[in-house]
Structure 1
Amino acid sequence: MNQHWAQMGERGTLLGMQVLVWIQRHLGRWPFQLVLWPVMLWYFVSHGTARCASCAYWRRLEPALAAQPVRLYWRSFQHFMSFGNTLMDKVEGWSAPVEDARLSGDGVARFARALDGGQGGVVLVAHHGNLDIANAMAERHPSLDLLVLMHTRNAGKFNQLLEQVTGRPRPQILEVTEITPATAQMLTERIAAGGFVVIAADRPPVNGGRQRELTFLGAPATFPEGPFWLAALLRCPLYTLSCMRVDERFHIEFAEFDDTRQLQRKAREQWLADAMQRYADTLAVWVRKQPLQWYNFFPFWLADAHESDDT
């Protein structure tokens, strides 16, 4: 039986993560890569659910791999290695501001203009690329009120690692399962005052909440309705944010996706259906640009939900 993504806890120990960080900082990138390789190989071999999901993802992106198991396994292992490498990028992003020379795209400038406008909003993100680099942009704006809604209970070790090795706290985080009517009122007030709320829009709800079947990369997949209902209820601008590593640089995209301030109650359902599919299409474009940076290691498509672990 496949586990829900939120039940798939972290593997490895905090000490092991700290050792990897020490190697990267004191010995350099290549020694880190040499140590990371066997670590991720062990994870690849031992974590059947993630391996199976990765292979299903690559068969969907490159159908020819279905008849080439060696290439499929290699592509999947590269996928795991990419995930392991994000550890260093996340640590780097929180240790110090990323130099301007390593940032590309107009996302940083667009983000600054949105802040200057004085109106906050909801920012949709996904588990693609490295959003810890993008979140670090907040340090360029000390007065920014940024709140991240996320499920944290399966990532406690990594969150603890980031704070320990960087000596700096992450942005204010609100456990997504603890949102109440009082929380919604608080969010409304923060956004009206120019604050931003960041929420992932690519994983089914933790508590079995409302979700919708959308077409993603050519096949049906389940996406959460919550982020879009939240934007509709808060009546505010809605943005998308992504950060993709391209060689040694980080390409940041930040764009206004929609605006619900004038959305009529009777039009919400139609808007929801349209907005969610538009978001899935936007995400598909990002994924095709940088396929190795897709980090949802669970059965994502409906056709894969009942697939046994024989990959």
Structure 2
Amino acid sequence: MTSESVRSQRSTAWTGRSRGGELLFLVCAALVPRAGIIGVWLGSFVIAAGFLVIGGRKQYGILSYWWRLRPRCSRWTLLVTLWRHYASFGRVLCDRLLFILSPQRYRLESTGIEHAIGLMRQRRGFIFLSAHHGNWEIAPLLIQRGISEAQSQAAARGEPAAIAPPVVHIVMIQGDLPAIQRFSDRHRGNWPVRFHDPRNALGTAVELAAALGRGEIVCLLGDRVHADQPAVAGRFLGRLARFPAGPFQTALLTGAPILPAFMTKTGLGGYRLEVDPPWTVRAASRADRQAAVAAAAQRWARRLELQVRRYPFQWHNFFDFFTPSAESPRR
């Protein structure tokens, strides 16, 4: 593994905007509750087949991912694999909508959420580090539920309700269509939320450092590099790949712990939030900072690889993760 930082040499095509337009979204919002979980499961294969025919086989960088996982599979096997992968993504999108409208239809469980609750009780800021795996966008809703349950249990024991909802900072591009954006904003829950554009690297870094210093929560995705964001190379699925350096630089400079977290689909109506124990990024001196960031990125790469090997169809990062710039990093 190289310890040198790299930068993305070109922007991805991601703009934050959902495909299909407002009309398709409104149609889905009307049909998904009627179709239910089983209907969504069946329909996802039909929609995925259409997408595959229209252009899904060549779109994005999904082929490089499956070539790393299954280098000996035939073309027909690869075609079926892509179809299943697109169907998985379609189910996640529909689940996200249906969960917001009818959360009682889903069985939710969590492991490790006590790590986050413990840090909140200490009024200590921390970084939730996740990826485009499973249904990452409904994870905050399950976290809120876990906090509420902890509050209720404390009250039942006669203890003060010690956890005030902290401000949550989410780094993401908000460029969706107006109707979709309004729907998302209306169903984000009761926590105060602040959004930060990842394309404004310097300004966002300053804002997040201040937030962590106030004991607030920062949510970051560690599997996509936007435009000219700083990146670091790490070995992933047997090859060098580019990871955003921001989460690890922020943890190093602020001392905030990192909690890897994944929202994994466990069945037709089931999800599990998995939160790992916290870990920190430290350097003995300024000269060691670059190596510390690289080591932290590699630690995250190993954790992400474990997750995608365990649930390969749930990694929905369709951009090319393995690029020549990661093989020849530059300062």
Contact preservation (8 Å) 2:115, 2:278: no
Matched, 1:83 2:89: yes
Matched, 1:283 2:304: yes
Residue 201 of structure 1: aligned partner: 222
Q: Shift of the alpha carbon at 1:58?
A: 1.7
238-247 or 12-21: bigger deviation: 12-21
Q: Shift of the alpha carbon at 1:185?
A: 4.5
More helix by share: 1
User: CA 1:236 to 1:108, structure 2 compared with 1: closer, same or farther past 3 Å?
Assistant: closer
Matched, 1:175 2:190: no
Q: Distance in 1 between matches of 2:75 and 2:325?
A: 18
Residue 164 of structure 1: aligned partner: 183
Q: Distance in 2 between matches of 1:26 and 1:165?
A: 20
1:119-169 Cα deviation digits (max 9, x unpaired)? 01122111111112211134334612111012333xx13x85364278424
Q: Shift of the alpha carbon at 1:174?
A: 1.2
Matched, 1:143 2:165: yes
Superposed counterparts of 1:295-306, under 5 Å: 295-302=316-323
What TM-score, normalized to structure 1? 0.82
The DSSP-based 3-state class of the residue aligned with 2:220 is strand
Q: Distance in 2 between matches of 1:173 and 1:8?
A: 13
Q: Distance in 2 between matches of 1:162 and 1:185?
A: 26
The aligned amino acid for 2:123 is: G
233-242 or 280-289: bigger deviation: 233-242
Query: When the two structures are aligned, how many residues end up with a matched partner?
Result: 296
Q: Distance in 1 between matches of 2:184 and 2:211?
A: 30
Contact preservation (8 Å) 1:214, 1:277: yes
Matched, 1:15 2:23: yes
Residue 213 of structure 1: aligned partner: 233
Contact preservation (8 Å) 2:266, 2:272: yes
Q: Distance in 1 between matches of 2:292 and 2:104?
A: 37
The aligned amino acid for 2:239 is: A
Q: Distance in 2 between matches of 1:302 and 1:223?
A: 11
Matched, 1:29 2:28: no
The DSSP-based 3-state class of the residue aligned with 1:63 is coil
The aligned amino acid for 1:220 is: L
Matched, 1:73 2:79: yes
Superposed counterparts of 1:49-60, under 5 Å: 51=59, 53-60=61-68
Q: Distance in 1 between matches of 2:101 and 2:199?
A: 29
Matched, 1:111 2:131: no
Q: Shift of the alpha carbon at 1:264?
A: 4.1
Match of 2:244 among 224, 228, 232: 224
Q: Shift of the alpha carbon at 1:9?
A: 5.3
Query: 1 or 2 for the larger relative contact order (CA 8 Å, sep ≥6)?
Result: 2
User: CA 1:192 to 1:137, structure 2 compared with 1: closer, same or farther past 3 Å?
Assistant: farther
Q: Distance in 2 between matches of 1:88 and 1:41?
A: 16
Identity in percent? 25
What TM-score, normalized to structure 2? 0.78
User: CA 1:165 to 1:144, structure 2 compared with 1: closer, same or farther past 3 Å?
Assistant: closer
Residue 153 of structure 2: aligned partner: none
Residue 124 of structure 1: aligned partner: 129
Q: Distance in 2 between matches of 1:303 and 1:48?
A: 23
Q: Distance in 1 between matches of 2:140 and 2:12?
A: 26
43-52 or 291-300: bigger deviation: 43-52
Q: Distance in 2 between matches of 1:150 and 1:169?
A: 14
The aligned amino acid for 2:168 is: L
What's the Cα RMSD here? 3.0
